[in-house]
Amino acid sequence: MIDLYTCDTPNGRKVSILLEETGFDYTTHVIDVRAGEQHDPKYRAISPNEKIPAIVDQDGPAGGPIRVFESGAILQYLAEKSGRFMGNDAVTKLECQQWLSLVVTGLAPTFVQVFYWLQHAPNATTEEITAFGRERYSEEMKRLVGVLDFRLREYEYLAKTYTVADMAAFPWIDRHEFFGFSLDDFVGVQNWYNRLSKRAAIQRGMKVPS
């Protein structure tokens, strides 16, 4: 059994998507980040960085419980545990690692910055600085979506097969309307998004927590 500590954000849902794809039994524990529950000392013992998601696998590699925090590490751990979704040959595994790294270290943090400037900065700074921040991060966000689009105009998935890299990117792209860009401008991403939206495991994972 796996305990999933999460909330209704793209970072959390990339892990619930993978859990649904693997079929592992898991229990969901909702961490209300808006109320600051991620800073509770009991949760910090699970996730030292005080972020979601995090998991505790009651049947870890040594036969006992093991915690895993940081979404990229969780995706790799669960994929390796299942023996799926990291690619089935050396080249595809390398592709998966590269695209997963791009999503985790580039795409996701930039989306978070745009969210900050859209939701919080207007109340904390001047109109001029707010406008600068919105433009700066929005353009970087679109640039990174364009990098995905460049790849997905040639391939069906970010690696040559469906992997955790796709699962990591999907919840962010799913919020495209909120973040102010149209998938019509990114044909490769749009076709990829439409294909993945039909996967039952993704549909279920995107509803966790309900």
- 175/114: higher pLDDT: 175
Q: What is the pLDDT of residues 7-45, one digit of tens each?
A: 999 999 999 999 999 999 999 999 999 999 999 999 999
Q: What is the CA radius of gyration of the chain?
A: 17
- 122/75: higher pLDDT: 75
The label of the residue with tokens 């745009």 reads: 114
The C-alpha atoms of residue 56 and residue 112 are separated, in whole angstroms, by: 25
Residue 95: the pLDDT is 96
Residue 135: the pLDDT is 85
Q: What is the pLDDT of residues 105-150, one digit of tens each?
A: 999 989 988 887 777 776 666 777 778 778 888 999 999 999 999 9
Pairing of strands 2-6, 26-30: parallel
Give 156's contacts (C-beta < 8 A, 6+ positions apart): 192, 195
Residue 125: the pLDDT is 66
Residue 123: the pLDDT is 65
| Domains of the chain: residue spans and CATH | 2-82 (3.40.30.10), 90-199 (1.20.1050.10)
